[in-house]
């Protein structure tokens, strides 16, 4: 057994928390280790010194002070910003509109957004003339492209 492990068990021994199996293991180590034996003596002396000290019961004023401090800290941690409902809805709608707008702009470059499309770009608005179906308009455009 290593001394560090034994010293952890010695603390339990002094506190009266050690079972018989642990007691046997510690005694075996203590028989061959002067350092841990000295540690046991110091811990036993410390335990006796602490037990011989007079007990001091805290007064009720201490309990009141602790409760007041806890209540003060709770009040400080619960401060939040209150936003009325009539403001929450328009703000949420505005954020959604901005998100949709940014989503639409995502496919274009910043230059295209600021300066418009390049001069060589052929962006045509496809609207079928009155009385013509959309399919007929597409066929006409295809015929014009083949010429």
18-76 confidence digits (pLDDT tens): 888 888 888 889 999 999 999 999 999 999 998 898 887 777 788 888 888 888 888 76
C-alpha distance from residue 28 to each of 15, 67, 97 (Å): 19, 49, 77
Residue 123 confidence (pLDDT): 47
Residue 15 binned pLDDT confidence (cut-offs 50, 70, 90): confident
- The yes-or-no verdict on residue 125 having pLDDT over 60 is no
pTM: predicted TM-score of the whole model, two decimal places:
0.39
| Cα angle for residues 67, 73, 78 (degrees, 5° grid) | 125
pLDDT of residue 34: 92
Mean pLDDT (the chain) is 78
Question: Domain locations in the chain?
Answer: 3-52, 91-146
Tokens 């499309």 belong to which residue? 117
Closest by Cα among 55, 46, 6, 51 to 28: 6
Tokens of 111: 């230059």
Could you tell me which of 118, 117, 136, 116 has the C-alpha nearest to residue 126? 136
**pLDDT score of 5 more than 50:** yes
* Helices 20-32, 3-14: inter-axial angle, 10-degree rounding: 130
31 to 12, 36, 38: CA distances (angstroms): 18, 9, 11
Query: What pLDDT, on the 0 to 100 scale, is given for residue 106?
Result: 63
Percent of the chain with pLDDT over 70: 75
Q: Which residue has the higher pLDDT, 77 or 132?
A: 132
| Percent helix / strand / coil, the chain, rounded to 5 | 70, 0, 30
């Amino acid at each position: 057994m290593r001394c560090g492990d034994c010293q952890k068990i010695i603390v339990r021994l002094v506190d009266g928390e050690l079972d018989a199996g642990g007691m046997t293991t510690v005694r075996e180590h203590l028989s061959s280790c002067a350092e841990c034996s000295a540690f046991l003596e110091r811990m036993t002396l410390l335990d006796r010194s602490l037990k011989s000290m007079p007990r001091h019961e805290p007064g009720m004023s201490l309990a009141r002070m602790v409760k007041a401090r806890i209540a003060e800290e709770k009040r400080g941690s619960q401060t939040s910003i209150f936003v009325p409902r009539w403001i929450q809805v328009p703000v949420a709608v505005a954020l959604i509109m901005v998100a949709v707008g940014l989503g639409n702009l995502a496919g274009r470059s910043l230059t295209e957004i600021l300066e418009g499309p390049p001069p060589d770009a052929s962006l045509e608005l496809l609207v079928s003339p009155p009385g013509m179906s959309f399919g007929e308009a597409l066929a006409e455009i295809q015929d014009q492209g083949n010429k």
